Chains A and B, each alone.
Chain A
Amino acid sequence: QKEVEQDPGPLSVPEGAIVSLNCTYSNSAFQYFMWYRQYSRKGPELLMYTYSSGNKEDGRFTAQVDKSSKYISLFIRDSQPSDSATYLCAMSVDTYSGAGSYQLTFGKGTKLSVIP
């Protein structure tokens, strides 16, 4: 079983739809959860950063973490064509604790297309 599983899509939605992107993971030690957006042939851009369980909202984006189910989600409200990109989830075990820290584990990404 891979540490982080993410449905690769592609996911195609009409403009204005609510988009739900998800990742599951197996390592219960993960405590920090991130979502990155990657446009074609560009570097990933940090969108959301969440510690432990709960929700975090930033504009049209909401990140949810359910550690009991080992499941994280990113919701995009009122989706726009400019949201068309690959979305990557990432997670890590801990903050600085010496050797072994900051080895982010990424999902393979979900490709999203928002159709005008």
Chain B
Amino acid sequence: EAGVTQSPTHLIKTRGQQATLRCSPISGHTSVYWYQQALGLGLQFLLWYDEGEERNRGNFPPRFSGRQFPNYSSELNVNALELEDSALYLCASSLDSYSGNTIYFGEGSWLTVV
């Protein structure tokens, strides 16, 4: 069974540009979570989507946004990129909205802002 898949693996953008990251959850999972893992800061919760709706949002500015598609895949958009947005962006999924304490991560997308 395929795990959580993310693309692209690596992305280099210039400050001020927009980045789009994509995630496919484990088959049968409806909830998708996004986390940022920046050097020295640990994993920080970004967003939670379930059944196409945003259910929860972490302490990040509005330029971090996303959506979940009818097939439960998701994308994370980061607008007006800043240097400090350079980080590993991790997508995770859980079976449903009642299973959010057991989430399974993908390999992540490395975003570098120069």
Interface residues of A (CB under 8 A from B): 32, 34, 36, 42-46, 49, 88, 90, 92, 95-96, 99-109
Contacts and interface: CB of A to CB of B under 8 A. Distances in A.
A102 B3 CA distance: 20
A28 to B, nearest CB: 17
Contact of B105 (A45, A92, A105, A109): A45
A interface, by DSSP: helix, strand, loop or mixed? loop
A96 B104 contact: no
Contact of A46 (B97, B103, B107): B103
B103 A104 contact: yes
Q: Which 4 A-B pairs have the closest CB atoms?
A: A102-B100, A43-B105, A108-B42, A106-B43
B6 to A, nearest CB: 8
Contacts of A106: 42-44
B56 A102 contact: yes
B107 A42 contact: yes
Interface residues of B, number: 26
B45 A103 contact: yes
B58 A102 contact: no
Contacts of B103: 46, 102, 104
B4 to A, nearest CB: 8
A86 B33 CA distance: 21
Interface string B58-69: 100000000000
Contacts of B97: 96, 101
B42 A95 contact: no
Given A42-B107, A108-B41, 18 more contacts: A43-B105, A43-B106, A44-B90, A95-B101, A96-B97, A101-B56, A101-B100, A102-B31, A102-B33, A102-B48, A102-B94, A102-B100, A103-B45, A104-B43, A104-B45, A104-B100, A104-B103, A107-B42
